[in-house]
Amino acid sequence: MPGTAADALALASHFGLRSVHGEQWANLASLLTDDAVGDLAAAVRTFVAAGSSAVVCIFDDNFLWASMVITVDKSGESASVSPMDGPAACGDMTKAAGEALDWVQTHSGPCSLGFFVNKEHAQALLRASDKAGAIRSASAAGGLVLSPVPPALAIALA
């Protein structure tokens, strides 16, 4: 799918694109370097179980700035990528994360990873060589909500 947001994300050739929201994709594309795209693809393969979804929401000034729902099919061989087309998440990140997670579970089924982060911490994470350390720092600063957390990620962050 050359020239599409899925191509820009470069998750893998077996990832399909649904319901493109131009502004959110543009915001994501502004964050994702070549290295970050590879890291994202590896995280999906490692932490998102077959037959489930992951939701990533990035907040700027308490407003949803970018989102991505990655739904992996039951075989684990292909997935769809779309922005969250649900509640207009804003305000308290914990509350917004709960609403987003409810929306994803209603529309995409089980969710094995919820990653809700402030834009500044997302940028720091993408630049960091120590991803686990950057995630722990974001959490300690109150700039990250992880829910649900897959066991493999919990172990990696311990």
- Which is nearest to 97 in space by CA: 142, 157, 52? 142
pTM: predicted TM-score of the whole model, two decimal places:
0.83
Structural domain of 92: 5-157
Residue count (the chain): 158
Residue appearing with tokens 């990655």: 70
Domain tally for the chain?
Answer: 1
CB 23 within 8 A of CB 84: no
What are 23-78's pLDDT values in tens digits? 777 888 788 777 777 788 788 889 999 999 999 999 988 888 888 888 888 888 77
Query: Would you give the end-to-end CA distance of the chain in angstroms?
Result: 38
Check: CB of residue 113 under 8 Å from CB of residue 48: yes
